[in-house]
Structure 1
C-alpha cells in the first residue's frame, strides 16, 4: 500500500503534460462541477420548498410530492440516451449550456405555480433538460482522463452535486428569513427565481470555455502540441459505429450493458435514504418533536456533507489501488444493512430520545453510500476504455436510464410521504438491495477480469506475429 501511495503521487509526466492536465482540470471541472451543483441545487430545493411553506400554500395532499418526483424522473429517463448520443453530433460546448438555459428558465417558472399539478408539468420538461448533465459529464471525463486520473475527477464532480444538496437547505433558510413576503412572494418562490438566475452565468461560461473532446476540441487555450498530446494520452478509439439496429443489438447483448446497468439500478436504490430526503420527512413527521423551519432545512445537510467526504475518499483510494472500484460495492452493502437495521430498531421505541439519536446517526451514515456514484461510473469508463466512444456513451446513459426507471416507482412503493417517519417497508427493501449489490459486484468483477485477460492475450499474440514477421524479413535480407 505504501508503495502504491508513493507511486500515485510521484507521477512521471511527459514534457508539457502537467500543464495540459492543469488546463483540462480547470476548464472541464469548473464548468462540469458548477453545472452539476446547479443541477442538484434545483432538485434538492423542491424538498426544501416543500417543508418551508409550499406544501401549505399549494395545498399538497397524500403522496403528491412523490408523484412530482416521479414525473421529473420520467422526463429524466426519456432524455438519458438521446442526450449522450447528441454529444456525438452537437458540440458539447453548445449542448450542455443550451440544456442549462432551458432548465434555468423552467426553474424560474416554478415560482409562478398555483397548484401541485402545475409543478408536475414543469418538472417533466425539467427532467428532460437536466438529464444531459450527469451521464454526459461522465462520458466527457472518460474521454479526457487516463485510468489513474479518472476516479478522483469523477469524485470531485459528484461531490459538487452534493454541495448543491448541502447548501440548498441553508440557502432556503436564508431566503425564507430575509425575503419571505418581499413583493408579495413567499420565500420558497424566491428560492426558485434565485436558483434560475444563478444558473445563467454558468451556462455562458461553458459556451465560451468548454473544450468538447480531445479529438474535436477547438479551444483557444490549447496549443496544437497540447491538442495532439490530449489525443495521445487516451487509448486510440475505434471508428464510431453507425446507429443501426445491429449496433443497438450489440450493445444490449453485451455484458457491459447488463452488468453496469443492473449494477447502477441496485446501487441507485441503496442511495434511496438520501435521494428521497428521508431524514427531512422523518423530521416533518416526528412522533413528538416539532422542528423549526431552519432545522428542517439545515439538519439534513449533514447527510450530503458525509457524502462529499465519502465520495472523495473512495474515488481517490480506488485510483491509488489501480482502479479497484468494486471495493465500494462491498462497502455499500455493509452500510445499507447496518443503517436499515438501526432505523428498524429505533421504530420499536419511538418515544425514547435515544431512538431519535439512532435515526439521525443512521441517516448520516447512509450518506457514505453516495460514494458509489463516482466510483461506479469511473468503473464503467475504465471497463470500456478500449471500446468506441458511442458504445461507451450509450452504456453510461443506460446505467442512469435503468436506475431512474426504477426510481420512478420505487420511491412511491417504499418511501411514500404517507409512510413517514419509519418507512419500514423501505428498510427491508434496502437490506435486500444491499445483499444483492455485494453479489452483483462480485459477478461483474469476474467478467471484467476475464475481458482484461483476453485483451492481454490478444496483445501478446499481435506482438508475437510482429516478431515473427521481423525475423522472416531479416532472414530474407
Structure 2
C-alpha cells in the first residue's frame, strides 16, 4: 500500500478507480461551474457591449458615469466575497450557488427596463453581491476535490470559461442588435439583458439537481459509496474550525498566507486592468482618426479574452506538469505588463497606421495576463491544503476582495472613459505594478518553500515517533498514516 501511494505521489501510477472518479468529478463539477462563470462574465461584460451599442445615447450617459457604474458593481462584488465563501461553510453549495444565480438572473433582466444611469447603478450593486459567490466559491470547491497535480488545469478551464463569456458577449450583442433591435419597441441592448437572464435559469436548475457539494458532504447519486470514500482519501482530511470566532480571526491575521496572497492578487489584479476594464473598445470608439462600426466595436476586442483563454490553459497545465511551480506565471505576467505598457507609452494614438497596429498588438498581448487568475488561486489552494478549511476559504475570498477594493477606485483614476484613447496614466500604473509583481512573487515563493521545509521536518519527526512506538524499522501506525496522507494529497513536501 505504501509503495502504491509513493508511485501515486510521483505521478507514475493512479490508484484503482482514480481515473473514473476524476472523470465524473470533471463532468459534473466543471460543467456546472464553467457554465455558471461563463454566464457570470457574460452578464458582467455585456454592460460595456450595451454601452457602445446604443445604451450611452438612449440613457444620456455623460462624463465618468460608466466608470461610476463599474465602481458601484465593484463595491458590491467586494462586499460579497468573504460572506459568500463563509456561507459555503454553513450551506450546501448545491443550494447556495444556484440560488445566487437565480437572483442575479432576475436583476440582469431588470436592467432592460432601466431609464437612467442611476437605475443601473442600483441594480448592479445587488447583482454584484450575488455574482461575488461564483469565482472565489468555485476555487474553494476545486481545492476541496482536486490534488495539486490536477488543480491547476481545472482552475484554468474554469477561468477560461469566464473569458469565453467576455469574448462571446461581443458576438451575442452583435447578433441581437442586428436581429432584435426595435422588436416589440425595445432597443437591441435591452434585449441583450433579457436574453442573458433567461439563459441563466436552466443552469441554476442543473446545479440544484446534480452539483456534488464537497467530498465530506456529497450525496450525489452518480457517486458510489466507494467513490465517495475514495474522494475523501485523495486529500488531507478537512481541518474543521468555525470562521465566526475571535480565535479564528486572530489566526487569520497572524498567518503569512493571508497577507501575501491577498497582496499578490491585489497587484496581479491591477495588471489585468487593461483587459478587465474593456479599454480596447473605449480606445476604438475614441480613436482620433479611425471610425469603427458597432460590429467592429463589439467583435475586435474579443481577441483579448481569446488570448487570455489560450494563455490561461497553457500556463495552468504547464505549472501542473512542473509539480506546482506557480511562481513562473508571476514572472511572466510582470514582463508582459512592463512590455505592453511601454508599447502604449512609446507610441501615442495618432493618425499613423503603424501606431494603431502597435496598440492593437499591446491590447491583445495584455490579454495573456489573465493567466494569473487560475494559477494564483491554485497556488493559494496548494499552500493552504494542510490548514483549516475555513482559513483556506477566507484567504481565497480575501484575495479577490482586496483586489476589487483597489479596483473600485483604480479604474476611475487610471482608466476613466474620458481618458480614451491614450490611457497614459493607466499605462504608467501598469508599468509600476508589473515591476512590483515580480518582487511580490519572489516573496510568496520564498515563504512557501520555508513553510514546506518546516512541514517536512514535522512529518519526519512524527514518522520517526511512529516507528519507535511500533518497532524500529516499521512503517505502520502514525508514521505510515502521515506518509500516506501526504501522498494522497498530491503535495510533494519532501522534495522541497
User: Could you state the TM-score of these two structures normalised by the residue count of structure 1?
Assistant: 0.96
Distance in 1, Cα, partners of 2:110 & 2:9: 48
Partners of 1:22 and 1:473 in 2: how far apart?
Answer: 39
1:285 corresponds in structure 2 to 286
Partner of 2:101: 100
- In structure 2, what is the equivalent of residue 274 of structure 1? 275
Residue of structure 2 equivalent to 1:248: 249
Question: Which aligned pairs between 1:72-221 and structure 2 lie closer than 5 A?
Answer: 72-221=73-222
Conservation of the 8 A alpha-carbon contact between 2:176 and 2:188: yes
In the alignment, which residue of structure 2 is the partner of 1:236?
A: 237
2-side partners of 1:254 and 1:63: how far apart? 40
Structure 1 residue aligned with 2:410: 410
Q: Is residue 2:469 matched to residue 1:469?
A: yes
Gaps of 5+ in 2: 1-7, 475-496
Partner residue in 1 for 2:370? 370
Which 10-residue stretch deviates more, 236-245 or 458-467?
Answer: 236-245
- Which residue of structure 2 aligns with residue 454 of structure 1? 454
- Structure 1 Cα separation of the partners of residues 60 and 399 of structure 2: 36
Deviation at 1:76, TM superposition (A): 0.5
CA deviation after TM superposition for structure 1 residue 83, in Å? 0.3
Structure 1's consecutive aligned runs of 4 or more residues displaced over 3 angstroms after TM superposition are 7-11, 471-474
Structure 1 alignment gaps of length 5 or more? 1-6
Between the two proteins, the alignment pairs up a number of residues equal to 467
Using the TM superposition, give the Cα deviation of residue 10 of structure 1 relative to its aligned residue in structure 2, in angstroms.
6.9
C-alpha distance in structure 2 between counterparts of 1:463 and 1:427, whole Å: 53
Is the alpha carbon distance of 1:445 and 1:176 closer, same or farther for their aligned partners in structure 2, counting shifts above 3 Å? same
Deviation at 1:470, TM superposition (A): 2.8
Aligned twin of 1:352? 352
Mapped pair 1:338 → 2:339: yes
8 Å Cα contact 2:467-2:473 kept in structure 1: no
Could you report, residue by residue, the CA deviation over 1:445-469 in whole angstroms, capped at 9, with x for unpaired residues? 0000000000000010111112222
How far off its partner does 1:472 sit? Answer: 8.0
State the alpha-carbon separation in 2 of the partners of residues 473 and 150 from structure 1.
35
Q: How does 1:384-463 map to 2 (within 5 A)?
A: 384-463=384-463
CA contact 1:241–1:388 (8 Å) conserved in 2: no
**Post-superposition offset of 1:167:** 0.4
In 2, Cα distance between equivalents of 1:350 and 1:9: 55
Alignment partners' CA distance in 1, 2:145 and 2:260: 24
Deviation at residue 14 of structure 1 after TM alignment? 1.7
Contact 2:86 2:243 in 1 (8 A): no
Deviates more, 1:257-266 or 1:7-16: 7-16
TM-score (norm 2): 0.93
When residues 280 and 454 of structure 1 are mapped into structure 2, their CA distance, relative to the original with a 3 A threshold, is same
2:136 and 2:444 map into 1 onto residues whose CA distance is 20
Change (3 A) 1:449 1:355: same
CA gap of 1:334–1:413, structure 2 versus 1, over 3 A, is same
Matched, 1:17 2:18: yes
Gap change, CA 1:37 and 1:472, over 3 Å in 2: closer
How many angstroms does 1:252 deviate by? Answer: 1.8
| Counterpart in the other structure of 2:483 | none
The 8 Å contact of residues 79 and 131 in structure 1, kept in 2 or not, is answered as yes
SS in 1 for 2:385: coil
Partner deviation per Cα, 1:188-231 (whole Å, 9 max, x = no partner):
00000000000000000000000000000000110000000000
Shift of 1:388: 1.2
1:66-94, Cα deviation, whole Å (9 max, x unpaired)? 00000001110111001000001110000
CA RMSD, aligned part only? 1.5
**Following the alignment from structure 1 to structure 2, what is the Cα–Cα distance between the partners of residues 165 and 203?**
20
